[in-house]
Structure 1
Amino acid sequence: MACRISELILDAADPERLAAFWSEVLGYVELDREDDGSIEIGPPGTGFGGPLPTLVLSPSSEPRNGNLRLHIDVSATDRDQDAELERLLALGARPADVGQTGDESWHVLADPEGNEFCLLRARIQPVRA
């Protein structure tokens, strides 16, 4: 028996803003809101426990220090990397410098709160519910 990732938790100064951003990036929908201000987003039609992990944006007022020790990699499902980069930048992502050389096949970006993530070159098939 093995485990699989069911949720990823991301501390957020503004969970509402990050939930909106990541929902657009991933094609996710809001699944749940907690009294503490946490917002859970996930794949439409499946939600928690489905084939993809959900993302919980948890309110936090603590400042972030340095780069995240864990980051998200995303791959386009319906367009090439350049077109997806344009889409992500239009949604509010911005280029991030984490020491890359410029020869990488991926783009390092940051979400609206500065959390780094990478856009990979490879296009992958979407998960079907």
Structure 2
Amino acid sequence: MACRISELVIDCANPNRLAAFWSDVLGYVELGREDDGSIAIGPPDAGPQPTLVLSPSSDPRTGKLPLHIDVNATDRDQDAELERLLALGARPADVGQTGTESWHVLADPEGNEFCLLRTRLQPL
């Protein structure tokens, strides 16, 4: 038996704001709050997708993230999903792409990069 990623922890200045953003992006719901201000969000049906834990931190971010999230639309094409993500507060990010990529590099409200890939996936 192998391991499975169950949680991704994201240090952030404003857990409430990022929890709301990523819940809207992924269709997640709040699962709980900890005394330290961390907020856990995840799939509403406890599906196999990993939980995100937004953990408060005042440490400044330096440089490009060593890990980022890739997302795929499940119920619309890439262009429509890009419009939706931008309306939620994502913004285009430049990490040195050439402009010929099949994906879009975006940043969440705190500047964490993520990519919107082209392939549409079936919802779980």
Aligned to 2:61: 64
Mapped partners of 2:48, 2:93: distance in 1: 30
Percent identity (aligned): 84
Instruction: Name the amino acid aligned to 2:21.
Output: F
Instruction: Name the amino acid aligned to 1:37.
Output: G
Mapped partners of 1:43, 1:105: distance in 2: 27
Aligned to 2:97: 100
Q: Answer yes or no: is 1:51 the counterpart of 2:48.
A: yes
Mapped partners of 1:45, 1:33: distance in 2: 18
Aligned to 1:124: 121
Give the superposed CA RMSD: 0.5
Query: Normalising by structure 1, what TM-score?
Result: 0.95
Mapped partners of 1:118, 1:52: distance in 2: 17
The ranges of structure 1 where at least 4 consecutive aligned residues each deviate by more than 3 angstroms after the TM superposition are none
**1:52-88 C-alpha deviation (Å, 9 max, x unpaired):** 1000000000000011100000000000000000000
The count of residues paired between Structure 1 and Structure 2 equals 124
**1:11-62 C-alpha deviation (Å, 9 max, x unpaired):** 010000000000000000000100000000000021xxx4110000000000
Unaligned runs of 5+ in 1: none
Query: Normalising by structure 2, what TM-score?
Result: 0.99
